[in-house]
Each structure stands twice: as structure tokens, then as C-alpha cells.
Structure 1
Amino acid sequence: MQVFLDTYATEGIRDSIAKEVLESFSPDNLSKIIAKSDTFIIVAEVDDHLVGFAQVAMSTGHDLISHPNSSELQRLYVQEKFTGKGVGYRLVEEAEKYAYLRGASLLWATVWIGNNRALMFYPRQGYEHLGSPSYTFQNETHENRLFGKILG
């Protein structure tokens, strides 16, 4: 929740942001995600404290991707205090390795256009810009960038 709010509530918290964060990160919803056999989560810890995680859904396509065996990096969240220290890089590296070992040949992610740090991060990790889809939550539509990387 903390990383979501730091990233998306840049002008403060409004109803749609509050509803989205409470729904997305409720214990029930997170338990459902963890239980999915086609989804995996890699965590980063410092001194036994969670500081970030990567969430990947296997065999997940997108209308802008024609590549077979693609999987989605659904979330890459790193607490602000730990950004710029290689945590995100290591999480993505592990997510790519694990996705590849499970049969993915391409890993993709969407990034909100207001998230400048992520927009610069993915190309540095070898991801190519593949399109500009929109994302809707709580009846609000937001422009994104779609990045993908061939694995292997």
C-alpha cells in the first residue's frame, strides 16, 4: 500500500485511489494472488523486513504483444528508502530468470506515464517500448507505456 500510494497518489489521496489501494492490497485479495498456481511473487528483505516485491503472472498476453509464451510483470514495488540501491534490479533479474525457467520467452510490464522513475528503469534493464495502452481503475482511465523483454 505504501509504495502504491507513493507512486500514484502524487497529488494526495482521493476516493478512487483509496478504493483501489484498499481493494488491491486487502489480505483476502493478496491471499488469492499468492494461491494462484500461475502467479509467483519474489520478495526482497533487509534484516527480515520486506522492502520490495515482484509479482509475475505466467502465460499472460496483451493485445499489443504478438510474441508467444509471454508473461506479465504485474507489480514491481520497492519502498522509497530502498530505491536506487539495486533492489528493483535484483527483483527484475530474479523475476526474469524464474519466468524463463517456467516457460516464458517474453516478460512485459505496463507503466503509468506519471511514473518517470519506472519509465527510465525498464529501458535500462533491456526492455523495449511496445506501445501505449490505457488502464482503467475505479472508472478512471490512465495512459501507460508497455515494455517487453525477450528472455533467454
Structure 2
Amino acid sequence: MPIIRAATSADAETLARLAERTFRDTFAAENSPADIDHHCVTNFGEDIQLQEVRDPNYVTIVADHDGELVAFAQVRLHSPKRIVRAERPAELHRLYVLEDWHGRGIAHEIMSAVLSAPALNGADALWLSVWERNPRALAFYRKYGFNVVGDQVFQVGADPQRDLVMAVEIDGQSTA
């Protein structure tokens, strides 16, 4: 079973490749190659990942299997969202798992690490956005008590897509 740990600056290159690979594996079949390419270039480069890993407003957790990253999650701390009724919300910005690792419990391990991360102390809600056409992810988040509280546009290249905004209270506060 992979080791769940905090990402370090040394993970940036591998994290960039993992983010791009998982995004392409999940969404390429339903999006144009140009839109996927644009999204990957503007969101998953090594420099971008390095900046996010070093940013104190981010928490990046990885699943490391014998030196290979197989999954990761990124949380943005202090990330208000108007439709999420909370005083101190954090955002689950990404949670990606390599396709070969689906069904092995890694996503649950990562989510447990996110929910118990010391940096989330003080947050009263965790919210995320998920493509409305991603039933696997929707079902996963519902298992953790996330509920749909609204929607938003998620831009993939030139294609505006509808994401559902989901939230869960993590400190006794309402999220909807």
C-alpha cells in the first residue's frame, strides 16, 4: 500500500506529470484534444506544481508507492465561495488517482489524510467542484457527506463546462 505523505518541492516534476496524466485519462474522451492540451499546459506544469507545493495556503498530499506518485490531493486553505455558507471554508482543489489504482482504496486514504490534516484546523467547511458528468467522483464525494450547494463554470480550454459545487461541514457549521 502506498505511503500517504505531504508533498515536497522535490515532488513538483512528478506531481505535474501525475496531474496531467490523470486529467487526460479521466477527461480526454469527452473533450477536444486542443482543450485538454490547453488545460494541462495552463494548470499542471512543473513550475505551477512547485509554486503550489511551496504556497502556505495550499496543502498537497501524495500517495507514494515505492517512489512513484500514484495519487494526490490539493487543498486551498481560506478559500471562500459565496454559495458555501461558512465562515472559514477550505477548497478541495484536486483529488486525482491514477487509473491503475482505482478501486484499491487510495482515494479513501487520501481523503482521510485531507480531512485530518492539521492545516484544516479552523476550517468549518470543505468545498469542491466536480464535473456534472463524472458520476464516479460524485458518488465518492457523497460517501463523505458532501452535498451539492450550487454550480459554476469550469473552463477546459475554450469549452465552458458545468461543475457542481459540493460542500461538507467539518466543524459543525452549515454548508448549504
Q: TM-score, normalised by structure 1?
A: 0.92
Q: Is the contact made by 2:131 and 2:162 (CA closer than 8 Å) also made in structure 1? A: yes
Give the aligned residue type for 1:33: E
The structure 1 residue matched to 2:141, chosen from 115, 119, 122, is: 122
Change (3 A) 1:9 1:43: same
* Structure 1 runs, 4 residues or longer, greater than 4 Å off: none
Q: Deviations over 1:6-45 (max 9, x none)?
A: 1111246521210111221111111111121110100012
Q: Is the contact made by 2:38 and 2:156 (CA closer than 8 Å) also made in structure 1? A: no
Q: Is the contact made by 1:71 and 1:108 (CA closer than 8 Å) also made in structure 2? A: yes
| Aligned counterpart, 1:7 | 26
For residue 139 of structure 1, report the CA deviation from its aligned partner: 3.2
* Residue-pair matches, total: 152
Give the aligned residue type for 1:111: V
Over aligned residues, Cα RMSD in angstroms?
1.6
The structure 1 residue matched to 2:59, chosen from 35, 40, 44, is: 40
For residue 71 of structure 1, report the CA deviation from its aligned partner: 0.3
| Aligned counterpart, 1:107 | 126
| Aligned counterpart, 2:44 | 25
| Aligned counterpart, 1:132 | 151
| Aligned counterpart, 2:11 | none
Q: Is the contact made by 1:99 and 1:107 (CA closer than 8 Å) also made in structure 2? A: no
Give the aligned residue type for 1:74: H
Q: Is the contact made by 2:146 and 2:168 (CA closer than 8 Å) also made in structure 1? A: yes
Q: TM-score, normalised by structure 2?
A: 0.80
For residue 132 of structure 1, report the CA deviation from its aligned partner: 2.0
Point out where structure 2 has 5 or more consecutive residues left out of the alignment.
1-19, 172-176
Give the aligned residue type for 1:83: H
Change (3 A) 1:36 1:113: same
Point out where structure 1 has 5 or more consecutive residues left out of the alignment.
none
Q: Deviations over 1:113-137 (max 9, x none)?
A: 1211101110011111111222224
For residue 100 of structure 1, report the CA deviation from its aligned partner: 6.2
Give the aligned residue type for 1:14: P
Q: Deviations over 1:75-134 (max 9, x none)?
A: 000001111111111111111111664321111111011211101110011111111222
| Aligned counterpart, 2:110 | 91
Identity of aligned residues (%): 28
| Aligned counterpart, 2:4 | none
